[in-house]
Structure 1
């Protein structure tokens, strides 16, 4: 691979991205970084496909008044599931009917790939941000469909909608496989403990939980938390930053306003890059 430059030459960065691991790692390597790749989690279609298919059929037959999309991954999985059952075109047509509310930029990007766009973007890319946005809307008696984040039931969001007398339907089109790549995660923990890295870049809250789960299994969680204080910890956005901070982990950098990999790479370059000779 031809490097764009060596602004991150010699910087050792752990990249626990799952779905787009190779793309993220290559962006850093082109800038000279040494990258330790470690997929902390893998994502799979929901094992309860009959429930997903029933939700899709009901959505196509009688589209809701509002649709809340929490993740881009969820919408992509729904489109794939609809295609498997011959409903893709009907589903996309039905998606155009409700008011579309997205938690952040990723579900908005997934909508645009389907030829649509969000009607409302949450004030903050969190469930609390979605609730804050919904508080400005009359929802009593409206049918609201919610695409969940993984298999988490999101009780605060669903509870709010039920509390304002909305009729709620939920779908969980994918799950996280927490047992993925155990030995590689253990190797990442050991590399962090040994001080072999300069930075780690988290792109989902699930990655944070998974890393600490393995550290607990290895009986070294306290040591890992201490080790993380000695390197640059990067978060792709506020959801991930909040998860880290709740665990007592300081967040050293985060993109502002655009929570994607490219802005995250730019922040890593700004924080860790070095001047190149003219």
Structure 2
């Protein structure tokens, strides 16, 4: 599907590796004239073994922690799904109301709002370092802290900080990543990027970058990234891209999610007078 003729991004071919909100992001770009090249790199799936998650949920209900750190919105959604299938969703939500809820960024905050709750404490920056810096001002000694992790990141820095502050972390990993597009499709997209046939690649998560790094020969990946303007949704993704050899050209100054990123793209490469993303 091509974008609106004469839009701010008319004639621009934009690679979109997003999975969960692929159509949302692609249509935002298409609305401004871009040709969105859909190439979902990572799918989110339930954890292969739900037993440890159910055990964690039952522990959470029976003896609620003092705090719960939510690093991703997907994490809370998956915890709620396991609770629902185990017949303990009401108990989980009731316990959730009574703990101090700490979020890393806007996505877990939005997911809390979806169940009628809010965050008690939000990280100053939506990164693990931001969570740690925010919690440095808190007295954590003796507090029991649930920690929702996400795949491919054991988050030793956060867990070590909590233990060092005298807290007792209880981590849980409620979902997993799986490859989405077949390898041949991804490699073909990288060849298009290296050949200059892609104007912009828009990255929204570190697993997308990790999949490319695992799949592509390093020299070919660097060539593809060097030949293509790169956008990142926020600093964590930007750091992963730079580690892979990219130079990040577009990133929102704050509010690290999709609409600010599209607005940053419009400001960087859109035609004058393009306005804000709808």
**1:252 aligned partner:** 249
Unpaired runs of 5+ residues, structure 2, are: none
- Per-residue CA deviation, residues 44-65 of structure 1 (Å, 9 max, x unaligned), is 1111200001111111111100
Shift of residue 183, structure 1, vs aligned partner: 2.5
Aligned partners of 1:192 and 1:224 also within 8 Å: no
Q: How does 1:1-278 map to 2 (within 5 A)?
A: 3=4, 6-178=7-179, 181-216=182-217, 221-275=218-272
Q: For 2:29, what is the secondary structure of its paired residue?
A: helix
Which moves more between the two structures, 238-247 or 63-72?
Answer: 238-247
How far, CA to CA, are the matches of 2:4 and 2:12 in structure 1? Answer: 14
Distance of aligned partners of 1:223 and 1:165 in 2 relative to their CA distance in 1, 3 Å threshold: same
Q: TM-score, normalised by structure 2?
A: 0.92
Shift of residue 89, structure 1, vs aligned partner: 1.9
Aligned partners of 2:9 and 2:32 also within 8 Å: yes
How far, CA to CA, are the matches of 2:5 and 2:46 in structure 1? Answer: 37
Alignment RMSD, CA only? 1.9
Shift of residue 181, structure 1, vs aligned partner: 2.7
Aligned partners of 1:158 and 1:168 also within 8 Å: yes
Aligned partners of 2:70 and 2:76 also within 8 Å: yes
Q: For 1:96, what is the secondary structure of its paired residue?
A: helix
Shift of residue 165, structure 1, vs aligned partner: 2.2
Shift of residue 4, structure 1, vs aligned partner: 8.7
Aligned partners of 2:103 and 2:122 also within 8 Å: yes
How far, CA to CA, are the matches of 2:242 and 2:273 in structure 1? Answer: 34
Q: TM-score, normalised by structure 1?
A: 0.92
Q: For 1:206, what is the secondary structure of its paired residue?
A: helix
Which moves more between the two structures, 243-252 or 129-138?
Answer: 243-252
Unpaired runs of 5+ residues, structure 1, are: none
Shift of residue 255, structure 1, vs aligned partner: 1.1
How far, CA to CA, are the matches of 1:179 and 1:72 in structure 2? Answer: 20
Count how many residue pairs are aligned between Structure 1 and Structure 2.
273
Q: For 2:98, what is the secondary structure of its paired residue?
A: coil
Aligned partners of 1:235 and 1:251 also within 8 Å: yes
How far, CA to CA, are the matches of 2:12 and 2:130 in structure 1? Answer: 35
Distance of aligned partners of 1:181 and 1:227 in 2 relative to their CA distance in 1, 3 Å threshold: closer
Q: For 2:138, what is the secondary structure of its paired residue?
A: coil
- Per-residue CA deviation, residues 105-138 of structure 1 (Å, 9 max, x unaligned), is 1111111111111111112211111111111111
